[in-house]
Amino acid sequence: MPDLVREALARLERVEQVLCAFHEVFSSFTPVDPSLPLAGTPIAVKHGERRSHREALMALGCVPIGLTTTPDGTTPWQTWGRNSRGVTRNPWNLDRTPGGSSAGSAVAVASGVVPLATGVDGAGSIRIPAAWCGVFGLKTTSSERAAVGVFTRDPTLLATYLGTSEVSSPTAVWSPDLGFAAVDDEQAEIAFKAAAPLRPRSVALTLPDPAADWFANRCGPNPALDELFEHADLLLTPTTPGPPHGHDGPGARINTALTWTFNLSGHPAISIPAGFDSCGLPVGLQAVARHGREADLVAAARLTSTAVEVAPWPP
């Protein structure tokens, strides 16, 4: 068993009883080729995810240590932490949700159990838990509504995962609400401050609320975004309109308001840790790039990570 895997299992045993991030923990592990780029790196895998995504990471040398929690279907589609083993808790406030549906993967990374975990993002299911748990959460370009991606605290791992060594200096624009979302002032202010290394210019962007299209699974080009990306490499927004809510649900608030547009358009996007709000809860900065330009998202993560420290819980 690789040393990093042994350390991950020890860390898991320490925090799992409190956080409930894992659906299943594996007991046996296949040896890996030490020459692979991520040889011996322990990862957590979202329960129910496509097997091909796990196998792609294993081909890089990653060692899955378990399947992370997702909602068990007993709650509505707005899932916020109840699963087959109980409630998955936000490490920064146990009374708050970590977000969903890739809840356990975000918590496994935020709590320092693993440096990398997988997820699937159909409306914000990677980016929202990443924002609320204070980690990076990337969704890749996809022609379908749902896209695979990963969580991490280290932008370098994002580059290795994507197989890119390109170093870009992307230009960025900022929209606090995409022209329709009701966003808390504090979320917008913290996210905008974290975006400072990217020097974004504000744009008057007005997109239609995508709710009806999302429920109808109407994916395809977005002319307003296509025009925007003719003049900028990145669109920056807050990741979520508000902070993580309690385990009883969000009420009338639509947590996906700022994320699901980009599931329909297929653009790659990332949530970047932006800092903490006045209640000590993490806030996320969302960056969206042109199709196939995940390298610009890695650049954004690297540039902003020098301004916002990403540390595992507990401090």
For the annotated catalytic residues, the residue numbers are 46, 101, 125
What is the SS3 assignment for 26?
coil
C-alpha–C-alpha distance, residues 18 and 153, integer Å: 21
The residue assigned the tokens 């917008």 is 188
Amino acid present at 94 = L
What is the SS3 assignment for 306?
coil
Structure tokens at 248: 């009883």
C-alpha–C-alpha distance, residues 175 and 100, integer Å: 24
C-alpha–C-alpha distance, residues 118 and 47, integer Å: 9
Amino acid present at 226 = D
C-alpha–C-alpha distance, residues 24 and 15, integer Å: 15
Of 196, 170, 137, 157, the closest CA to residue 299 belongs to 170
Q: Is 306 exposed, middle or buried (0-12, 13-18, 19+ CB in 10 A)?
A: exposed
Structure tokens at 86: 């109980």
Cβ distance 168 to 295 under 8 Å?
Answer: yes
DSSP bridge partners of 87 = 82
What is the SS3 assignment for 13?
helix
Amino acid present at 17 = Q
The C-alpha torsion from 41 through 44 and 50 to 55, rounded to 10°, is: 20
- CA angle at residue 129 from 126 to 132, to 5 degrees? 145
Q: What is the DSSP letter of 93?
A: B
